[in-house]
Amino acid sequence: MNFIALDYADLAIAALLVVLNGALSIALRLGLERQLAIATARMIVQLLLVGVVLTTLFSIVSPTWTALAALAMVLFAGREIMARQERRLKGFWAYGLGTSCMLVAASLVTIFALLTQLQADPWYHPRYTLPLLGMILGNTMTGISLGLDTLTTALVRDRGAIEAQLMLGATRREALLPATRAALRSALMPIVNSMAATGLVSLPGMMTGQILAGVDPVEAVKYQLLIMFLIAGGTALGAITAVIAAGYRLTDARHRLRLDRLGPARDGI
């Protein structure tokens, strides 16, 4: 493999483009320069830190530290799911439900890939585990947030229709079916769209990254296909478990709709 290494002077020259953005923002009074500066600084610090952390993890190849890094990623992604809900479940469930479904779905799919397709040595080698998990998590997270948000919105909006069915003797499963379907559709739509568009509209980042690193394009494509299949599986698994679990949480064993277990709508989502 041969690739062109970058030195910091190269990056500084490229960063001039961001400085140009800032100058534009000041000239046109967009008021974005402060946010732009903070975002750029955050990106630089976060990515440099990740680089250092990954280098360390790759050199020690410890199952414990790899698992801890993976857990930290899941916990951050869980916070992201919670932040994207217009109405959150009350109590621990607001964070716990999405996070635990994501944890199960993403780790199952990642371990599946590590054990069957990749077969690294050792199988938990962080060089494979963490990037794989990261890509699966990012998409599963989006799927679960969309699914939960669509479900809770539909339950609040269609409360009358759902309770009307319950009053006439429908089970909670029957009464929630339309809302559950809508939630799963919106959870799976992004991955379906991105599978359809990939290669034509967009060249996936991981694939282009491998090509830049000197990998044969056909080999890079094979990796990308693997990732897309894993993402599709992880997203579906995570979204289905999260939406069904939330449906159970928002009803009870006496087949009542329990919107009292849902917090108030929040602005600014």
Q: Which of 1, 31, 92, 169 binds other proteins (CB under 8 A)?
A: 169
Q: How far is the CB of 86 from other proteins (least distance, A)?
A: 22
Residue at token pair 């976060």: 46
In the region spanning residues 228 to 257, those forming contacts with other proteins, defined by CB under 8 A, are 254-256
Q: How far is the CB of 165 from other proteins (least distance, A)?
A: 6
Query: Among the candidate windows 7-15, 74-82, 129-137, 153-161, which touches other proteins by CB under 8 A?
Result: 153-161
Helix 126-157 with 172-197: angle, nearest 10 deg: 130
82 vs 262, beta carbon nearer other proteins = 262
176 touches other proteins by CB under 8 A: no
Q: How far is the CB of 148 from other proteins (least distance, A)?
A: 22
Q: Which of 6, 167, 201, 218 binds other proteins (CB under 8 A)?
A: 167
Residue 142 burial by Cβ neighbours in a 10 Å radius (0-12, 13-18, 19+)? buried
Q: Which of 165, 180, 186, 241 binds other proteins (CB under 8 A)?
A: 165
* Contact footprint for other proteins (CB under 8 A): 158-171, 178, 254-256, 260
